[in-house]
Amino acid sequence: MTSLPFWQRRIVRHGLGWLIVLVLMGALSWFGAPALGRDPARAFAALLMELALVAPPLYLHFALLTRLLERGHRAWYVAGTTAALVLGALLDALGDVGRSWLRHVPVEAYTGTDFLSAMVGTALILLLGTGLRYARRGLLSQLQMRRLRARQLETELSLLKAQVNQHFLFNTLNNMYALSLTAPEQIPEALLQLAELMRYQLDSSRQAQVTVGTEAEYLANYIGLEKLRLRANTQVEFSTDLPYPDRPLAPLLLLPLVENCFKHAVGPNGPNHIRISLVQTDVGLTLSTENTIPAQFRARPSGVGLPTLRARLAQFYPGARHRLSIEATDTHFRAVLHLALAPAAELVA
C-alpha cells in the first residue's frame, strides 16, 4: 500500500492550519491585551487554552457533517449541532476561569447572556471551519475532474490517431494493389516511400506537435506515392508557401483532405484534376484542396476520413481556432481548412 505524500496527510494539514490560527491569535493578543503580551509564557499558555476550547466543538461538528448531514440524517444533525454549541459555551465558561487566572483577576459570574454569546461565537467558528472544509473539498473535486478530463482527452486523441493510421493504411494498400496491376516495376519504389510514410506516422503519433515544415514534407511524400499509380489523364498540382516552417502543428491533421482528393478524383475516363495548396501567414495556416469527381464516385459516402478530421479539429483547435468549409457539386469537390496558429511574437515571448 502506497503512503500519501507528506503534505497530503491529514495530521500535517490540520497541524499547519492550527499553527496559522495560533500565529494570528498571537498577533491579536499582542495588540488586544498588551499586559498579557509582555509575558511570553502566559501569552502562549493563553493561546493554547483558547485552541483547546475551540477544537472539541469544531471536530465534533466535522464528525456530524460526515456521519449525519451528508448521509441525509438532518434532524439528528440539528440536534448534534445544538449539542456542539452547548459544548462550546460550557468550555467557554470553563475558559473564563483560566483567563482570570492568567490575568490575575477575580473570576466574574458567568451569566446567561455570556452563555448565549459563547454559543453565537461557537456558531461563527463552526461556520468558518465548515466553509473552509467545503472550499477545500470543492477545489480538490475540481482538480480531480480536470485530471479525469485530461486523461479522457488523451484517450480520445489516441483513438482518433489510430483511426487516421488505419484509414491511411487501408487506402494505401488499395493503391499498392492497383499499382501492382498497372505498373508492377514501380512496386519497390512505392514500398520504400510507404515505409518512410509509416515511419513518420509512428513517430508523430507519439508527439503532441510537429512542425508545419515536416507536415508539409510528409504531404509531399504522400502525394509522390499516390502519383506513381496515376494515369496520364490525371493532373496533380501541389504548391506551398510556408514562411514559418518551424511553427508547431498537431500531427496528421492535413492528411485526410489530401487523401480524399486521390480517393475520389481518379477515374479511367476523361481528365482528372487535383489541386492542393498550403499557405501560411503569421497567424494561420490554410490548406485548400480541389478535385474533379468522376461519375462512379458521385453517389458514394465519404467514409470515416472527414468525421475523424472534424473530431480531431475539435480536440486540437477548438471553437474559432479552426474553420473547415466544404463545397461539393456533381463534378467538383472543394475543401478549405484554416487553422489559427500562434503569432511569431507570442512564440518568442
Share of the chain above pLDDT 70, in %: 67
Sequence-distant (6+) residues with CB within 8 A of 287 are 254, 257, 258, 276, 277, 278, 335, 336, 337
The verdict on residue 268 lying in a domain is: yes
C-alpha cell at 348: 518568442
Residue 304 CB neighbour total at 10 angstroms: 15
Q: Which run of H or of E encompasses 267?
A: none
Residue 49 has pLDDT above 70, yes or no: yes
d(CA 6, CA 287): 52
**Whether residue 317 sits in one domain with residue 205:** yes
**Whether residue 101 sits in one domain with residue 231:** no
Domain end (from 55, 82, 110): 110
Cα–Cα distances in angstroms (integers) from residue 101 to residues 49, 129, 258, 313, 343, in the given order: 12, 29, 88, 73, 71
- pLDDT, tens digit (0-9, with 9 covering 90-100), for 191-237: 777 777 777 777 776 777 899 999 999 899 889 888 877 777 888 99
**Whether residue 305 sits in one domain with residue 202:** yes
C-alpha cell at 147: 485530471
d(CA 315, CA 94): 63
Tally of domains in the chain:
2
- pLDDT, tens digit (0-9, with 9 covering 90-100), for 310-325: 888 888 899 899 999 9
The verdict on residue 39 lying in a domain is: yes
The verdict on residue 147 lying in a domain is: no
Residue 201 CB neighbour total at 10 angstroms: 18
C-alpha cell at 212: 508545419
| 8 Å CB contact between 315 and 160 | yes
Which domain covers residue 57, as residue numbers? 6-110
**Whether residue 69 sits in one domain with residue 163:** no
Sequence-distant (6+) residues with CB within 8 A of 83 are 60
The verdict on residue 72 lying in a domain is: yes
**Whether residue 288 sits in one domain with residue 225:** yes
The verdict on residue 48 lying in a domain is: yes
What pLDDT does 300 receive? 54
**pTM of the full structure:** 0.52
**Whether residue 310 sits in one domain with residue 217:** yes
